[in-house]
A and B are shown apart, each in its own frame.
Chain A
């Protein structure tokens, strides 16, 4: 779930949600201010009218009724009123007149005037400017405008903000619904498109890694569109073309080198063999025999050199088949055991049973022969070679450990390099370089070190057959 498409969608949606939220907040602010402005205008107008009426009306018994009528009338035209409720409410408007000493002169409104009076006296309402007023026992505040009339009293006209808030709440609810819908839709679109785009990228990278493992002839899939992803595929393919051509170049060089050297070697060997069969005396045969042996060694050296050279360039050609390493080691030990015991060496195998890898059998055979030859040539007598074969996750782990003197300190850091060999060694110094090359060509790792008892330890890990299928 932590794919790039998922992350991009989450971040993209977050940015988008914040943006739309800001727009909505701005709109809300604007609408709220507008509603406020309209009710304030109404309040100021009405309170002027009330003041005017209050001034002209004589202060007799009828005064309260006249001003009350006017207030009643005004309350019918309250702005922002929700339709259909005009008859029920008359707690939405009140008129209050306070005389100079602070005594209640007139009260038009629902319920008792006391809490209103107290609220007004506590607050500091300035004439000509509508202000919010909270009245005890009523949850919704009032908007109150006041005016001072000539007799020193104040008239307060209050309008409940209930309708205004209802409009705003309604608006908010709708905003939130639309916002959620937009965010979800945005997320879906972003997720879908990035996933589609990134699926293409994933296909490309999968194809590219497959190509790295198997043959270089395949190419990553390209799309018809010439977007960034299409260009990536194109660039990769161009790169693969170049790699393939330089690989091909390398193969051509090593092949023709091998061919050009092997043809004369074949002719020389043939001629030597013919003169050997003609030679009757031992002393005549001896130089011919040693020439043939030298020639065979030269040929093997040529093979290994070219293999190592190709493997260093990751260009070793493999023809894979299933190999049971356990079985192969048993056969190899069977082959090498007499030579080892002849030299006073012991070889032991600890194996957990059949273990199949998908590898080039000729190379693996030669590699193991190389390891065994190496032990045979370098170990002093009375030593023991111990082999461990086991699986670890998706790899076959083969370790080969002896209780000999180990790698000399001057070579131990680079035993897998070409031409590196101990002072006492008579080999051509390619043995372990070849082992490393073969292991690497199969996607494995070879390590060499001196074990805790001072002997040499070589560990090879090779991918199991099942790990390669994927």
Chain B
């Protein structure tokens, strides 16, 4: 998976490159729009990360220029701005995504994965999800662990489904809020944690191996091994 990172802040560049490489991406870095254009022209990338505040041009102008020369790889826009520009919304509707700084690495990686998946070949949608001995029937909205039906509310089912789809990967609180409740907010109370505790109480019964793990300061992960 080849990725072009367009970011002028050296510190952010460094840690992003390292974590992206750890996540298995082959990363090229451009510090300004001109370089990015040249690199994108010479090589084929699966996905791009573009910061909006570049020294020589606006990030959106860069994306539009790349689109004009036929580069249609999905873009994850990084923004340190306060408001989300209408043009960013336009790009978002066109299949790209944006993330405001500062962000959690897990969220960046999750959004990248989604972008690549969205633009890849559409696989047939599974009707069942299976993680270890946990099985979700997406049509009947039922969850079964070790042959036992879990009594979940509809909301808890959606939450568990989201964790299962990202089994083995970290999901952050803001990702859960975004995907399960549809809002980008940052409550300064532990609302998401309480939902997870309740879900854990139902999924990880007595004597069973705990599946939902809390990674403090990062988020949660549903263990898949």
Contacts of A319 in B (CB 8 A): 83-84, 86, 89
Known: A300-B188, A365-B183. A273 touches B82 (CB 8 A): no
Is B185's CB within 8 Å of the partner chain A?
yes
> Of B15-23, B69-77, B131-139, which stretch is located at the interface?
B15-23
A300 touches B82 (CB 8 A): no
Is A466's CB within 8 Å of the partner chain B?
no
A276 touches B217 (CB 8 A): yes
A263 touches B191 (CB 8 A): no
Is B120's CB within 8 Å of the partner chain A?
no
CA distance A331 to B218 in the complex (A): 24
A365 touches B80 (CB 8 A): no
CA distance A286 to B217 in the complex (A): 9
> Of A38-46, A126-134, A334-342, which stretch is located at the interface?
A334-342
Residues from 265 to 281 in A contacting B, C-beta threshold 8 Å = 265-274, 276
Compute the total of residue contacts between A and B using a CB distance below 8 Å. Answer: 124
Is A459's CB within 8 Å of the partner chain B?
no
Is A17's CB within 8 Å of the partner chain B?
no
Contact flags A332-361 to B (C-beta < 8 A → 1, else 0): 001110110010000000000000000001
By beta carbon, the residue of chain B nearest A297 is B188
CA distance A377 to B80 in the complex (A): 30
> Of A5-13, A153-161, A253-261, which stretch is located at the interface?
A253-261
By beta carbon, the residue of chain A nearest B156 is A338
B80 touches A266 (CB 8 A): yes
CA distance A259 to B100 in the complex (A): 10
A266 touches B217 (CB 8 A): no
Is A91's CB within 8 Å of the partner chain B?
no
Is B53's CB within 8 Å of the partner chain A?
yes
Contacts of A258 in B (CB 8 A): 80-82
Is A288's CB within 8 Å of the partner chain B?
yes
B89 touches A262 (CB 8 A): no
Known: A255-B81, A259-B53, A338-B195. A266 touches B103 (CB 8 A): yes
Q: Distance in Å from the Cβ of A432 to the closest Cβ of chain B?
A: 13
Interface size on A, residues (CB 8 A): 53
A270 touches B105 (CB 8 A): yes
Q: Distance in Å from the Cβ of A262 to the closest Cβ of chain B?
A: 4
Q: Distance in Å from the Cβ of B6 to the closest Cβ of chain A?
A: 15
B188 touches A262 (CB 8 A): no
Q: Distance in Å from the Cβ of A288 to the closest Cβ of chain B?
A: 6
Is A264's CB within 8 Å of the partner chain B?
yes
B12 touches A255 (CB 8 A): no
Contacts of B84 in A (CB 8 A): 319, 362
B18 touches A274 (CB 8 A): yes
Residues from 355 to 410 in A contacting B, C-beta threshold 8 Å = 361-362, 365-366, 369, 372-373, 376-377
By beta carbon, the residue of chain A nearest B193 is A339
Residues from 175 to 205 in B contacting A, C-beta threshold 8 Å = 177, 181-191, 194-195, 198
By beta carbon, the residue of chain B nearest A367 is B185
Q: Distance in Å from the Cβ of B35 to the closest Cβ of chain A?
A: 19
Contacts of A372 in B (CB 8 A): 187
CA distance A366 to B218 in the complex (A): 21
Contacts of A292 in B (CB 8 A): 217-218
Known: A263-B101, A296-B186. A285 touches B217 (CB 8 A): yes
Known: A335-B191, A362-B84. A263 touches B9 (CB 8 A): yes
B181 touches A362 (CB 8 A): no
Pick from B9, B104, B182, B187: contact of A273, CB under 8 Å: B104
Known: A267-B15, A293-B217, A342-B194. A299 touches B188 (CB 8 A): no
CA distance A335 to B185 in the complex (A): 12
Provide 30 A-B residue pairs closer than 8 Å at the C-beta atoms, listed in order of the A residue: A254-B82, A259-B53, A259-B81, A263-B9, A265-B102, A266-B80, A267-B9, A267-B15, A269-B103, A269-B104, A270-B16, A270-B102, A273-B19, A274-B18, A274-B105, A276-B217, A288-B217, A296-B186, A297-B188, A307-B82, A317-B83, A319-B84, A339-B194, A361-B183, A365-B184, A372-B187, A373-B187, A373-B189, A376-B189, A377-B189
A289-B217, A369-B183 are known; give 8 further A-B pairs, CB within 8 A: A262-B101, A270-B11, A270-B12, A303-B82, A317-B83, A338-B194, A339-B194, A369-B187
10 closest A-B pairs by CB: A289-B217, A267-B11, A270-B15, A266-B102, A292-B217, A262-B80, A266-B101, A365-B183, A338-B194, A289-B216
Binding site for B on A (CB under 8 A): 254-255, 258-259, 262-274, 276, 285-286, 288-293, 295-297, 299-300, 303, 306-307, 317, 319, 331, 334-336, 338-339, 342, 361-362, 365-366, 369, 372-373, 376-377, 427
